[in-house]
Amino acid sequence: MNTLKKKLVCLDLTKIDDLLVGYVNFLAGIHKPAEVQFVHIIETIALDTDVLELFEDVNSLDDLQQRLQDHFEDLVDDLFEVDGVKTTVFIERGIATNRILGLMESWPYDLLVLGKKNSYIGEGIAALKLVKYVPASILLVPETARYSMEHITVPVDFSAQSANATALALDLAGGSYDKVTLQHIYSPMKEFFPYMPAEKEKKAARDKAIKAAAGFIREYKLNPDVDIELTLFREDRMSDEIYNLCNQRKSDLIVVGYRARKNLLASLKDNLPERMSGYGFGIPLLIVKNYKSTLNLYEILVGSDR
């Protein structure tokens, strides 16, 4: 299985660029794509001080664009080493999120790769917009990412998208079930509260989760010995529960399926992968989307901005 054949990697002329190119190279070594494209987007309409400090004798935007092209081509040549993968570097101008959305419209990328710098105010808003609207899968790589794939956590709700995320996680783990933990977060059935005692309520919810897990394994033909962690929802946020398990298992990656909604209004509502995109897990987060099922919503949203 290789559903991530064409990747778009966004570089921003900061220190995280080295990590992004290196991580994509590491990922290509275990999950080889056909092509990786690297893009930098010039957002300013005039030369700013920071850019002038990096590049001497730059006196126009056209000159800057060529210097950036040379800079990023050198970076990719130095850090991307996997043979047999086509690489391309190009420079765009405009508002970053809008240009990325435009690029996704012009070519059906399978994966969008973004750096995640928790210290930058406003970055989370841009990432959330892309997670909501981009039809491709999205990989968010934090500054603390490790070049390791010893353990992967997969939050699941037993849907078809969770099955897709599980299949991709197993592929990244080389087919080893020992390296993958599925996590299902359940909560007591509140419709019975307060008429049912709390412990009975919790047991009923867990029994229901166990039954659903067994059905998930049967339906998607998973190994019956797959590690499924059933987690009672105790924290303020589900992301806290996922973070706790990742720490316990020393996970290197989180893979979560994104469920496309059936209508525009439902799609604009908050959901777990979107909330997770703004959380500081400290490890990469791969949000797996079904391209076809999210494409219609994407076209509606992009078209409404024209």
pLDDT greater than 80 at residue 45: no
Token representation of residue 64 = 């800057």
H-helix segments, 231-281: 238-249, 264-267, 272-277
Of 119, 152, 136, the closest CA to residue 16 belongs to: 119
Per residue in 157-174, pLDDT (tens digit) is 999 999 999 999 999 999
Query: Which of 14-18, 122-126, 282-286 shows the lowest mean pLDDT across its residues?
Result: 122-126
265: pLDDT confidence band, cut at 50, 70 and 90?
A: very low
Phi, psi of 56 (to 5 degrees): -80, 150
Per residue in 69-107, pLDDT (tens digit) is 999 999 999 999 999 999 999 999 988 888 998 898 888
Structural contact between residues 71 and 43, judged by C-beta atoms closer than 8 angstroms? no
Q: What is the C-alpha to C-alpha distance for residues 97 and 113, in angstroms, rounded to an integer?
A: 13
CA distances from 116 to 4, 127, 166, 190, 288 (A): 20, 8, 23, 36, 17
Q: Which domains does the chain have, with CATH numbers?
A: 6-142 (3.40.50.620), 152-304 (3.40.50.620)
Per residue in 239-264, pLDDT (tens digit) is 999 999 999 999 999 999 998 655 44
**What are the helix and strand counts (H, E) for the chain?**
11, 10
Between 199 and 288, the higher pLDDT residue: 288
Q: Across residues 38-50, what is the average pLDDT?
A: 77
